[in-house]
Chains A and B, each alone.
Chain A
Amino acid sequence: MDHNATSATNTGSAVTGGHIHPPPDTFIKKYVFSLDHKVIAVQYFITGGLFFILAGLLAELMRAQLSGPNNHVLSVATYNQAYSVHGSAMVWLVIIPLLTGGFGNLVMPLQIGARDVAFPWLNMISFWLFPPAGILLFASFLYGAPEAGWTEYPPITLQMPFGTSMWCLAIFLIGISATITGLNFLVTIVKMRAPGMTYTRMPLFVWATATTAFLSMIATANLSAALAGLFIARTFHVPFYDVAKGGAPVLWQHVFWFYSHPAVYIMILPAFGLVSEIIPTFVRRPIFGYKMIAYSSAAIGLLSFMVWAHHMFTSGLEHWEQFLFMILTMTIAVPTGIKVFSWVATLWGGKIRLDSPLLFVLGFLSTFTFGGFTGILLASVPVDIHEHASYFVVAHLHYVLFGGSVFGIFAGMYYWWPKMTGRLLDERLAKWHFWLMFISFNATFLPMHWIGLLGMPRRVATYDPVYASTNLFVSISAFVLGASMLLFLYNALRSARKGEVAGPNPWGARTLEWMIPSPAPYYNFKDIPIVLSGPYDYGKPLPYANISQELATVPMH
């Protein structure tokens, strides 16, 4: 059992743990320019949450416009701007910051038994690049916001007003921020694991975060380059995409998707990770197929670099390219399937407590699997030829992004809320939130598949009246979906005032973050713990040594 504890010095170390920095003393150092990963996580949550509301409200405006054909709620231009900023904000200002910046920061260092990330100062910089980026993006409405979608395909983007340059700049900042975070997390995970925590003893969320960090580091660097390219093409007429001078519009699609496909896994892998944490906790049994889940994360990460052109099946690729990218894309179903099946198998023979985090996870499993399946429909070139750029794609992307990432985010929120705040959320409200959201989500996005297949293109402010009734139904469901978020908002505010005190380990989980008080003290661990085996052996004694002092009330020093 503990034979690895001593030979562990090369997989992690307690040395840096020896020294604890003094706690910050001023308000600014504590809450604004904080170096503490937990505070930074909360900063990400609050900022990202605000952008979620803004981007969501844009979506509601879009749905109001689309509730009937030939509506004039928004002008055509404003509608175009609305979905472009909605898509960009949801991807770059909501999902990525919440999953990596939020949960990655909050949970990963605790789970590996570290006192902080490797470069706290860089961590702070990463965060502080984020609000300006968001403000730039939303301020672009004042200067003619981008209209060509979150993908901003040239040449039309070369013809747009200044707002599109602001978009470039905003996403560039986010790109730098995500690259730095990725680098920081990867060093943290490689170098700062507690003694005894070998790679195969790492919690699965850490595996997911490591893969995500790797993707952020590589793919997002490429995004920054691509955006710089678009920016100079717009500003200095550098003819990368200008056909008149020999440029190629399709070039942008390549460099953009070389980032943006890995990015969709940046947006889902952390959610996979937290699903893998929540399931064993509430099912009260070891996760099924730990190694396969861990390695499949890595496999997905590597494969994700090789499939980008599946977004370009109608962009005039060579046939062999189409075939190659099709088969590589389909390959991803295999590691993803391994995860889905392993999660379901973990439920088998458990002692399942259907608390809110698990409910959201089950919702995730159901909707994500469906979204993944429609992804397979899109991956087949002939089928995609019909479906591309229709509402079918819009439906797919919401099933994976909302049904996957957002359900994952809420699951994680309900799960780690006590660790973050020290208080519990109200279970009854949480269950209402779940059911309302789950039902209205499906009512909103399921019909989109149908009208997409029948011929409704995406990115239009009006449509053929034959789709009117379906669209009205979708719009009404979307309003309910938006309203369901209010339940969470209320629950969160309520918990701050009268939430039940949670205690260190309200769910009886076994990963390291639950071994210390809630909220975690600024130094995380008084003594760096020693890890003796993997974290999911429910029913066995805890696999940690050196943690007896953590919950003692005696102050340190």
Chain B
Amino acid sequence: MATHVYVPSDAEYEEVRGQRLLGFLFFLISDCVIFGDFIFSYLYLRNASPVWPPPGIERPYLYLAAVNSIVLFGSGATMHYAMEGMRHARLRQFVWFTVATIVLGSMFLGGQAYEYTHLHDTWSGSTFGASFFTLTGLHGFHVFIGVIFLITVLIQTLRGTYTQQRHFGLTAATLYWHFVDVIWVALFFLFYIY
């Protein structure tokens, strides 16, 4: 590290980390609200319609989504092991599990792209389509950001930015990834089952 850069002491780092962690949690909460808004809209429109999905609209294919869900939850598991690696300073474990997570995340996006192109309903076609494409699209966008996020922290790690003690960026990426997983549970239930 260049000498003119201020290096915080451990106590200072802990303090700043606490602030950032809280800030990041707050960010996730407000992100949750954004999903909540559209989920509310979905439930409201569903409630306003005598039959659901609206007449002439088919639900998207459950099994494709189920496979996709497994892929996404799998990525949650690999993410967990990647973090374990960092916590115990096992760099190789971290790198490979992170790569696995990125691959699984991308597979999920691919699955979603396939699904989008094979649906008859459209964004502007019905209230079901409106909610479906808005919510899953928003979620897919989150996954996409998550993948970018992971690639970034991976590169950062390889360049030695993070250490066993100081790796807030990684913590944030992990939290974010798990958050996106949990949102998917709700969406899966709403659109494919309920």
Whether A and B are associated in the same complex: the answer reads yes
Chain B binding surface SS class: helix
Using C-beta atoms within 8 Å of the partner chain, give the interface range for chain A. 35 or more
A187 to B22 alpha-carbon distance, docked (Å): 6
B26 and A240 form a contact (CB under 8 A): no
Contact with A along B4-32 (1 / 0, CB 8 A): 00101101100110110011001101110
Residues of B within 8 A of A229 (CB): 37-38, 41, 134
Decide if B29 touches A217 in the complex (CB within 8 Å).
yes
With the chains together, A184 CA to B24 CA distance in Å? 10
With known contacts A15-B12, A239-B126, A251-B41, A186–B49 Cβ distance under 8 A: no
Q: Evaluate contact between B15 and A245: CB separation under 8 angstroms.
A: no
Q: Is A246 in contact with B134, judged by CB distance below 8 angstroms?
A: no
A248 touches B26 (CB 8 A): no
Task: Answer yes or no: A183 CB below 8 A from chain B CBs.
Answer: yes
Bound form: Cα–Cα A183–B30 in Å: 9
User: Is the CB–CB distance between A118 and B19 below 8 Å?
Assistant: yes
Contact B29 A240 (CB under 8 A): no
A225 within 8 A of B: yes
> Is the CB of A221 closer than 8 A to any CB of chain B?
yes
Give the distance in Å from the alpha carbon of A349 to the alpha carbon of B140 in the complex: 63
CB of A164, distance to nearest CB on chain B (Å): 18
Given A187-B23, A225-B33, is A19 in contact with B12 using a C-beta cutoff of 8 Å? yes
Q: Are B123 and A218 in contact, CB atoms less than 8 angstroms apart?
A: no
The answer to whether A405 has its CB under 8 Å from any CB of chain B is no
B36 within 8 A of A: yes
User: Which residues of chain B in 146-164 are interfacial with respect to chain A, using CB atoms and an 8 Å cutoff?
Assistant: none
Q: Contact between A222 and B45 (Cβ–Cβ < 8 Å)?
A: no
Query: Closest Cβ of chain A: how far from B129's Cβ, in Å?
Result: 8
**Cβ B34 vs Cβ A221 within 8 A:** yes
Kindly supply a per-residue 1/0 record for chain A positions 344-386, scoring 1 wherever the CB is within 8 Å of any chain B CB and 0 otherwise: 0000000000000000000000000000000000000000000
Judge whether A226 is part of the interface by a CB distance below 8 angstroms: yes
Q: Which of B91-126 contact A (CB under 8 A)?
A: 123-126
In the bound complex, residues from chain A placing their C-beta under 8 Å from that of B9 are 18
A192 to B18, CA, bound (A): 10
- Residue in chain A with minimal CB distance to B46: A246
Residues on B with C-beta less than 8 A from A248 are: 44-45, 48
Write out the residue numbers on chain A whose beta carbons fall within 8 Å of the beta carbon of B27: 183
Q: Contact flags (1/0) for A41-78 with B, using CB distance below 8 Å?
A: 00000000000000000000000000000000000000
| Interface residues of A, Cβ cutoff 8 Å to B | 13, 15-16, 18-19, 21, 118-119, 179, 183-184, 186-187, 190-192, 217-218, 220-222, 224-226, 229, 232, 236-240, 245-248, 251, 254-255, 258
